[in-house]
Amino acid sequence: MPHPAETSVIPSGIGAIRHYFNILGPGILGAAAAIGGSHLVASTQAGAHYGWQLAGLVLLVNLLKYPFFQIGARYTMAADETLIQGYDRIGRGYLYLFTALNIFASVVSTAGVSMLCGSILGLFLGDRLNVTQLTMIVLAGSLVFLISGHYKTLDRVTKWIIAALSVCTVAALVIALDEGGVAPPEFISPSPWNLAALGFLVALMGWMPAPIELSSWNSVWLRQKKKVLGDELQYRDSLIDFNVGYITSTLLALAFMGLGALVLHGSGIELSSSGIGFAHQFVDVYAGVIGEWSRWLIAVVAFLCMFSTTVTVLDGYSRALSECFVQFGQPTGSGPTGHGAHFTYPLMVVMAAVAALIVMFFKGALLAMLEFAMVSAFVSAFIFAWLNYRLMGLDTVPAKYRLGTGMKVLGWIGILFFGGVNLLLAYWYLFLK
């Protein structure tokens, strides 16, 4: 019997187009989760504060995280189990650590992205509702969407959301490039290459393109996709799907940075820290420079960006945590049970409820909340990078699917980079801040 990761005959012509559109899913969902706070907020802020100076850093971080995200697809197809079961094979204590970190990240991230989405929704509904009420609508809508439609609906709809988002973002960037930057000739850009800017740089890298633990979502979604497609989904297909999503999120990060650099950099405008204020400011400034006609284009881009993120964050964290809780009831190191979704929907509801409570208490500090979540994601990046790297050496991975020399070198460079920056961050926080 062939291994589940074995490749099949490559389709051609119209059949190839249909095949590849059909196999796209987990990687696109990963892009939808990534293209949120990191892009709309962090990338835009990076461009607004420093122009194009951080474009190289964005590309570097995406490159260094690439092996660890790719392992989400590679390990799942090669070992025929999720990363979560792989963590348990390394040791039950690592699974407990993964679960604890994800419980914390799930509610903070859900609160941050849903509040930003609710703030943008307020652009369409006016001042009739406050940010808390708008966030409740977003969370309720996301729950209804997920619970009623299940994975198939999310898988199908997200492709079109990302396609529309990409077209709108690129269109806005092209227009901004044609208009030129707003910074006066005598404006001198501040330098980001100093310890005073370290906190911002770490926050930018934490969610760029996303926290590394999102690789476990890709793993869980891929298992779901295999249930739908069966043997039609092959090892090669899963990597194509992953690469399409990852490259899309990387390019859109640069696009949002470009919009910030062209429209906000040197304008003298400070971004608001409140949700409603940021949403209005984001759209007002862009419409003022690009043209009033573009107001709803920018608003639609922003809303699509954040709604797709909110939906996938709720789905991804709840599925991953559900897998963890099911795995705790199994012998250490056991394979998939087939009951990974047992706690998914109750966890979605709990996550949404706790996120709503957080928004009620911190609704005036959107950017501060997002920055905290981003920094936390970078601090934990070292742990998740090392865990994912360890997985590829397990006996469950056939030799021909393990990392090649280039990916191993890139992986170790990434692990050392994350560890080194964390040490620098600790030194800065303890002695210089």
Q: Examine the pLDDT at 231 and tell me if it is beyond 70.
A: no
Query: Which of the two residues, 182 and 378, has the higher pLDDT score?
Result: 378
pLDDT computed for residue 364 by the predictor: 62
Write out pLDDT tens, residues 107-123. 988 998 898 899 899 88
- Measured CA to CA, the distance from residue 84 to residue 223 in angstroms comes to 12
Task: Look up tokens 């995406």; give the residue.
Answer: 62
Within 103-238, strands assigned E span: none
Which has the closest alpha carbon to 415: 31, 27, 35, 66? Answer: 66
CB atoms within 10 A of CB 87: 27
- Measured CA to CA, the distance from residue 30 to residue 53 in angstroms comes to 27
Q: Examine the pLDDT at 351 and tell me if it is beyond 90.
A: yes
- What's the chain's length in residues? 433
Cis peptide before 209 (omega within 30 of 0): yes
DSSP assignment of 381-395 equals: HHHHHHHHHHHTTST
Write out pLDDT tens, residues 262-272. 888 888 877 77
Question: Are the C-beta atoms of 39 and 357 separated by less than 8 Å?
Answer: no
Assigned token pair, 204: 């930018």
pLDDT computed for residue 57 by the predictor: 96
Write out pLDDT tens, residues 235-252. 777 788 888 889 989 999
Residue 433: is it exposed, middle or buried by C-beta count within 10 angstroms (0-12/13-18/19+)? exposed
pTM of the model: 0.87
Question: Could you tell me which residues come within 8 angstroms of residue 204 by beta carbon, excluding any fewer than 6 positions away?
Answer: 38, 42, 43, 45, 46, 54, 57, 58, 61, 374
H-type alpha helices, 207-294:
215-229, 235-263, 275-290
pLDDT computed for residue 275 by the predictor: 65
Name all domains of the chain by residue range, CATH numbers in brackets: 13-432 (1.20.1740.10)
The CA-based diameter of the chain, rounded to the nearest angstrom, is 69
- Measured CA to CA, the distance from residue 156 to residue 154 in angstroms comes to 6
Task: Look up tokens 């390990």; give the residue.
Answer: 75
